């Protein structure tokens, strides 16, 4: 984490990354945007909020997935600066014009900042009239699970969540299924070892599949009040259906090229792409897939893999494109 008074970060590093992010947005380069979004988030400096805001407020070009990546990139900043980050999370969540994927991720972020009872009850009230089942499910599951937390540090927060849960109006038959967005926060305590673990598992549901399009898992170890180990994992894709289509096309193309591999004299003279060009074959254009995977084990650092494969327009070129 960069200290707030470490001037090289706000004076040099952040302006440089902001300039590169703006350039990538102007060029429509999703891969570069995802890289710079994540790089800014890893700085854990409050100044990154002003860099992100124009994209979250539609002042600069950004896709739904890129805005989702911004919300996810703020996770650790929310731990060190919960009030600042919570304000941004709440603005995104409260924007009914925003896509449900981004709003749901903002709800997951809000719950990690330990909001007060007033905010929790306000969220419960809006969940009762929320038109998106993804958002109402995210709020309901968050309040229900947090109300069951047992650790002494979380006792007041759990009581606040229980009070907010009482405001929810849900009949059992009207409860949202697992295909909708949700988050669950649980803890396990060993008094003998003075040890506790807390886990938050969340997912954002898909519109084109029963499989979630984004999944998040965080496990925190609390040893005698010292939170000394975080395990973080997340995987996101802009469309599950398009991902399956891409994978299927890659497999078909590999089989096709092997099946029609020319042998003997003149072998390899024309590729499948060249034959299609000569015959002027038209292929269906598919939307570009954006994806991101990251894992962090304890203090081992981050392993991030943002992806926006160029080969998703028409036929993908190779498996390594994604």
* Residue 83: half-sphere exposure toward Cβ, Cα within 13 Å: 0
Q: Who wins on pLDDT, 80 or 274?
A: 80
pLDDT, average across residues 269-286: 57
pLDDT, average across residues 276-280: 60
pLDDT, average across residues 295-316: 53
| pLDDT band with cut points at 50, 70 and 90 for residue 308 | low
- Among residues of the chain, what percentage have pLDDT more than 70? 76
pLDDT of residue 253: 73
Residues 6+ apart with CB under 8 A from 177: none
DSSP state letter for 292: E
Mean pLDDT of the chain, nearest integer: 83
How many domains, in total, are found in the chain? Answer: 1
pLDDT of residue 272: 54
pLDDT, average across residues 126-147: 93
Q: Is residue 199 part of a domain?
A: yes
pLDDT of residue 172: 63
pLDDT of residue 311: 42
Distance set, CA 61 to CA 27, 32, 44, 47, 285 (Å): 10, 13, 23, 20, 22
Q: Is residue 266 part of a domain?
A: no
pLDDT of residue 229: 62
pLDDT of residue 268: 54
pLDDT tens string 153-185: 899 999 999 999 999 987 666 666 778 999 999
pLDDT of residue 299: 55
Answer whether 87's CB lies under 8 Å from 78's CB: no
Distance CA 290, CA 65 (A): 7
Q: Is residue 265 part of a domain?
A: no
pLDDT of residue 259: 60
pLDDT tens string 9-51: 999 999 999 999 999 999 999 999 999 999 999 998 999 999 9
Residue 77 has pLDDT above 70, yes or no: yes
pLDDT of residue 309: 47
Residues 6+ apart with CB under 8 A from 192: none
Measured at the CA of 14, the angle between CA 8 and CA 20, to 5 degrees, comes to 135
Residue bearing tokens 């990546």? 69
pLDDT of residue 313: 39
CB atoms within 10 A of CB 141: 22
Distance CA 309, CA 293 (A): 14
Q: Is residue 3 part of a domain?
A: no
Distance CA 51, CA 159 (A): 36
Task: For residue 102, give the CATH number of its domain.
Answer: 1.25.10
pLDDT tens string 80-109: 999 999 999 999 999 999 999 999 999 999
Distance CA 39, CA 14 (A): 9
pLDDT, average across residues 269-293: 64
Q: Is residue 263 part of a domain?
A: no
Q: Is residue 2 part of a domain?
A: no
Give DSSP secondary structure letters for 133-146.
Answer: HHHHHHHHHHHHHH
Q: Using a CB cutoff of 8 Å and minimum separation of 24, what contacts does 293-301 make?
A: 293/234, 293/235, 293/236, 294/38, 294/232, 294/233, 294/234, 294/235, 295/232, 295/233, 296/230, 296/231, 296/232, 296/233, 297/231, 298/229, 298/230, 298/231, 299/229
Q: Who wins on pLDDT, 301 or 42?
A: 42
CB atoms within 10 A of CB 184: 15
- The pTM assigned to this predicted structure is 0.81
| pLDDT band with cut points at 50, 70 and 90 for residue 3 | low
Q: Give the domain range for residue 158.
A: 8-258+271-321
pLDDT, average across residues 45-66: 95
Q: Is residue 76 part of a domain?
A: yes
**Which pair of structure tokens corresponds to residue 137?**
């499910």
pLDDT tens string 208-240: 888 999 999 998 888 876 766 678 899 999 989
């Amino acid at each position: 984490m960069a200290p707030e008074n470490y001037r090289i970060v706000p004076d040099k590093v952040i302006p440089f990354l902001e300039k590169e992010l703006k350039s990538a947005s102007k060029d429509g380069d999703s891969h570069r945007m995802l890289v710079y979004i994540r790089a800014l988030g890893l700085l854990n400096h409050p100044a990154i909020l002003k860099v992100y805001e124009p994209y979250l407020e539609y002042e600069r070009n950004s896709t739904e997935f890129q805005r989702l990546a911004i919300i996810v990139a703020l996770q650790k900043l929310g731990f060190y600066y919960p009030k600042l980050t919570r304000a941004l999370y709440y603005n995104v969540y409260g924007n009914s014009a925003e896509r449900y994927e981004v709003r749901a991720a903002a709800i997951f972020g809000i719950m990690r900042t330990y909001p007060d009872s007033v905010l929790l009850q306000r969220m419960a009230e809006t969940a009762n009239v929320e038109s998106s089942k993804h958002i109402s499910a995210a709020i309901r599951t968050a309040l229900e699970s947090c109300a069951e937390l047992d650790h002494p540090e979380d006792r007041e927060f759990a009581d606040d969540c229980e009070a907010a849960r009482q405001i929810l109006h849900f009949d059992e038959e009207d409860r949202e299924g697992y295909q909708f967005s949700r988050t669950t926060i649980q803890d396990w305590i060993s008094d003998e070892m003075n040890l506790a673990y807390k886990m938050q598992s969340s997912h954002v549901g898909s519109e084109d599949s029963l499989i979630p399009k984004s999944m998040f898992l965080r496990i925190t170890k609390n040893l005698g009040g010292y939170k000394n180990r975080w395990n973080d994992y997340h995987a996101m894709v802009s469309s599950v259906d398009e991902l399956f289509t891409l994978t299927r096309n890659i497999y078909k193309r590999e089989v096709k090229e092997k099946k029609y591999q020319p042998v003997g004299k003149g072998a390899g003279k024309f590729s499948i792409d060249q034959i299609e060009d000569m015959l002027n074959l038209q292929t269906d254009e598919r939307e570009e897939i954006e994806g991101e995977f990251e894992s962090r084990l304890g203090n081992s650092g981050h392993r991030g893999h943002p992806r926006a494969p160029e080969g998703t327009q028409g036929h993908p070129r190779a498996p390594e494109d994604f």
